[in-house]
Amino acid sequence: MALLLSTAYGKLIDAESKESGFTQIKGTLQTFMRLVKAYMKGDYRNVATKSLLVGVAVLLYLVTPIDIIPDFIPGLGLLDDLSLIAWFVNAFQTEISKFRDWEEDRSFDHSRIGTF
C-alpha cells in the first residue's frame, strides 16, 4: 500500500522543483479552477469542452463525501483520491500549461512595447 501511494505521489510532482509536492498539486488545482472561471466568463476558450467537463467532474469527486473507497479506511481510503489526482495532473498538464501561458501573456503590459 505504501508503495502504491508513493508511486502515485511521485507521478504528481516535479522532483526537481523547489516547491513541496503538496504546493505543486495545490497550484495545479488552483490553476485549473482559474481556467474554469475564465472559460465561464468567456475570456478563455482554448480548451476542449470535453476536457473541461472531465476536469470539473474530477474536482467534484474530490470535494464530495461520496467515494468509491471511503476515506476512513486506513491506507486505501485516500488511494482513489490520490490516483484520480495523479491521472488529472498527467492528463491535463498540457491544458494547464497553455492556460498559464495565456495568463502570463495577458498580464504582460503590451503598452510598453516600443518604449525604452
Residue 1, pLDDT > 60, answer: no
Query: 32-91, pLDDT tens digit by residue?
Result: 889 999 999 999 999 988 888 888 888 888 777 777 777 677 767 777 777 787 788 778
**Measured between alpha carbons, how far is 109 from 1 in angstroms, rounded to an integer?**
50
Residue 114 C-alpha cell reads as: 516600443
- pLDDT for 49: 86
Q: How much is the pLDDT for 55?
A: 86
DSSP assignment of 55-90: HHHHHHHHHSS--SS-TTSTTTTTHHHHHHHHHHHH
pLDDT of 115 > 70? The answer is no
The radius of gyration of the chain from alpha carbons, rounded to an integer in Å, stands at 17
To the nearest 10°, report the CA torsion of 92, 15, 25, 34. Answer: -60
DSSP letter assigned to residue 20:
-
Task: Say yes or no to pLDDT of 110 above 60.
Answer: no
Contacts of 88 (CB under 8 A, 6+ apart): 32, 55, 58
Going by C-alpha positions, the residue among 31, 41, 50 that lies closest to residue 99 is: 31
